[in-house]
Structure 1
Amino acid sequence: MNATRKVAVITGASGGIGAALVKAYRALGYAVTATGRTAPSTSDPGVLAVAADVAEPGTGARLVEATLERFGRVDTLVNCAGVFVSKPFTEYTDADYEVVMGSNVRSFFEVSRSVISAMLARDDGGHVVNISTSLVDNADVEVPSALASLTKGGLNGVTKSLAIEYATRGIRVNTVALGVIRTPMHPTDPDGFQAARHPVRRMGEVDDVVRAVLYLEQAPFVTGEISHVDGGQSAGH
């Protein structure tokens, strides 16, 4: 393969936003390692599909090793894996906590640590993009979401920390904070409840998220940014 071709690692790539991002990065000419609990289906030689639980210790190192063996480098990581569990705070169980922390925080730590190490070894910079939620800074009384705020709020914070830590090494770190996006989790909105939660009065589409991530990918002077793709939720109601 062309050694100068850039390479992206995308977690949560089995469907929804992650799967769309795999296609988008391929359209940019990137090779992609796409990982999910179920390996994404592909016949594209430019896509390495890996079935993995990115919350499991050691998974990040294995993903990077497989990516380097296949493509020779890692330029971008999109941490798209995650879960959302909405309950009143006192009704969350220990099992809920473990699942949400694992999917939203441990997976970030596991994969990002190994990817950034690979970027530093090449000393050619790179880009990490995280997926968060506007509920972190715009709590909604109708959507109890303490575990989302606890975990995704952590991602917002570490985005700024890592952006500063690695700014002089050419590694950028950004986050896209979402409103409600039409995905398999919210495929329809027959009563208009989800649309009404956004000032623009519609749900977001997967393409809205893809455009935001690709903007950040192609914006070399942007790092430490929490970019809201939420139909105005973060601005107010």
Structure 2
Amino acid sequence: MATSSTDRKVLVVTGASRGLGDGFVQAYRARGWRVVGNSRSIRQSGDPDYVTVPGDIGEPAIARTLIETAVRCFGRVDTLINNAGIWRPGAITTISEELYRRVMATNLDSVFFTTQAAVEVMQEQGTGGHIVQVSTSLVEHALQGVPAVLASLSKGACVAATRGLAMELAADKIRVNAVSLGIIRTPLHDPGSLEGKKSFAPLNRYGEVSDVVRAVLYLEDSDFVTGEISYIDGGRTAGH
């Protein structure tokens, strides 16, 4: 079991078992941070400075347990990355109520309840904190050939909340930022489809997990930046 020493910073990240989430875990651990990660089927960690919490983060009880685990094991929460997400493109008339509610729970409910619990801890600590949302540039720039109403509803709400919370929490020195992504090579995309998606970006390539990690680390280090939506999309947003 990890020690209860509170002299090192602590990251909490959702959707931590693969793709972007695993990239965030590795990057912050390389900086010496302690980490608490969650996903539905995440494995137990053999690293005493990395604790995992399995469960559906769309359930408020799991969201609260995740933050409580960070406090119990490491004594604090400094940064929360709301990374968990479901990508289910589809025309609005084809979306079942079950799918709608599952996507909203993972993409939106998880952000609200995990952030709520994290903010309470950060305010009690009195040392500030950082919250990062992971969104998609489809929120601002829809594509006719990519019906993505579920992403627009859920991630669009997170982008709006990023700006609102940045103002609400500024007096507590809690910063709130977001990264808005284009096509990134993660398990969300069929590897065989990536070549055909390069043209979505003016840079004519898809992004890597490392591109997103570097952007988040920039936001982590930039303590005069809050309410920022950083576009990691190869120039797609700039072209609109």
In the alignment, does 2:221 pair up with 1:201? no
CA-atom RMSD in angstroms: 1.3
Query: How has the CA–CA distance of structure 1 residues 141 and 8 changed in structure 2, closer, same or farther, with 3 Å as cutoff?
Result: same
Tell which deviates more after alignment, 181-190 or 195-204: 181-190
Return the offset for 1:83. Answer: 0.6
Amino acid at match of 1:235: A
Equivalence for 2:218: 215
Query: How has the CA–CA distance of structure 1 residues 4 and 136 changed in structure 2, closer, same or farther, with 3 Å as cutoff?
Result: same
Equivalence for 1:105: 108
Equivalence for 1:45: 48
Equivalence for 1:160: 163
- Give the counterpart of 1:234 among 202, 220, 237: 237
- Give the counterpart of 1:27 among 19, 26, 30: 30
Return the offset for 1:192. Answer: 2.8
Equivalence for 2:66: 63
In structure 1, C-alpha distance between the alignment counterparts of 2:129 and 2:19, rounded to whole Å: 24
- Give the counterpart of 2:121 among 118, 121, 132: 118
Return the offset for 1:33. Answer: 0.2
Give percent identity, aligned residues only. Answer: 45
Tell which deviates more after alignment, 38-47 or 63-72: 38-47
Return the offset for 1:189. Answer: 4.2
In structure 2, C-alpha distance between the alignment counterparts of 1:41 and 1:28, rounded to whole Å: 21
Equivalence for 1:131: 134
Report if the CA contact (8 A) 2:185-2:194 is conserved.
no
- Give the counterpart of 1:174 among 157, 172, 177: 177
Return the offset for 1:99. Answer: 1.2
Query: How has the CA–CA distance of structure 1 residues 19 and 40 changed in structure 2, closer, same or farther, with 3 Å as cutoff?
Result: farther
Q: Secondary structure at the match of 1:95?
A: helix
Return the offset for 1:22. Answer: 0.3
Equivalence for 2:21: 18
Report if the CA contact (8 A) 1:162-1:173 is conserved.
yes
- Contiguous gaps of at least 5 residues in structure 1: none
Report if the CA contact (8 A) 1:59-1:110 is conserved.
no
Equivalence for 1:3: 6
Q: Secondary structure at the match of 2:22?
A: helix
Amino acid at match of 1:221: F
Report if the CA contact (8 A) 1:209-1:229 is conserved.
yes
Amino acid at match of 2:216: V
Amino acid at match of 1:115: A
Return the offset for 1:41. Answer: 4.7
Following TM superposition, the consecutive aligned residue runs of length 4 or more in structure 1 with deviations greater than 3 angstroms are: none
Query: How has the CA–CA distance of structure 1 residues 191 and 78 changed in structure 2, closer, same or farther, with 3 Å as cutoff?
Result: closer
Residue by residue, what CA displacement relative to the aligned partner does 1:183-207 show, whole Å, maximum 9, x if unpaired?
Answer: 1122524673211111111111000
Report if the CA contact (8 A) 1:182-1:205 is conserved.
yes
Return the offset for 1:62. Answer: 1.2
Equivalence for 2:147: 144
Report if the CA contact (8 A) 1:174-1:226 is conserved.
yes
Aligned length: 237
Return the offset for 1:42. Answer: 2.7
In structure 2, C-alpha distance between the alignment counterparts of 1:64 and 1:162, rounded to whole Å: 18
Report if the CA contact (8 A) 1:88-1:145 is conserved.
yes
Report if the CA contact (8 A) 1:13-1:19 is conserved.
yes
